[in-house]
Amino acid sequence: MAKSGTFLIRCDACGVTNRVPREKVYSGFEAICVRCKRALTVEAHPRAVTDASFAADVERSPLPVLLDAWAPWCWPCQMISLVVEEIAIEMAGRLRVGKVNVDENPSMAARFDISSIPTLLLVERGREIGRIVGMQTKADIARRIERVIHGRVLALER
């Protein structure tokens, strides 16, 4: 987040970073790039990912996916969900974000050996490429995500 009340959203087409008012994103208005005038890709809320939708939402995603493993009774999970929503908006176009209720999706919890929540998983083509367990600040989460995504891009360029 840049200023209070704005998100920084990178344009998929030209790469310029745009300041978009929070109200515009949360109200569902289309945000337009200041340089190329194309619509910005903004998913204001993480997708609900289930055992049944995992293949479509995560394995076939063209982008890395941040999965928020949570449960409704988990107070720290509820606190971190606001951070996860902001990351979904700010990293739109570079990262897809989903939420997995581990109580309702035991197969996914077992597949990724989730024994503690909240757990944030970075997944690419169905394989875990990073993990953040427990409460972290937004800055720490974003920094770790950037490090993994940046490392992934560098590996692809080699």
Q: What is the pTM of this model?
A: 0.74
The residue annotated as part of the active site, out of 11, 14, 33, 77, is: 77
Structural contact between residues 16 and 35, judged by C-beta atoms closer than 8 angstroms: yes
For the domain that residue 141 is a member of, what is the CATH number?
Answer: 3.40.30.10
- Tell whether 65 and 92 lie within a shared domain: yes
CA 61 – CA 63 distance, rounded (Å): 5
What are the pLDDT digits (tens) for 32-63?
A: 999 999 988 777 679 999 999 999 999 998 88
Residues 78, 96 within the same domain? yes
Among residues 26, 25, 27, 57, the alpha carbon closest in space to that of 40 is found at 25
Number of compact structural domains in the chain: 2
CATH number assigned to the domain comprising residue 15: 2.30.30
77 is catalytic: yes
Residues 1 and 79 in one domain: no
Q: Which 3 state secondary structure label does DSSP give 129?
A: strand
pLDDT tens digit string along 70-81? 999 999 999 999
State yes or no: is 33 an active-site residue.
no
Statement to judge: residues 21 and 62 lie in one domain = no
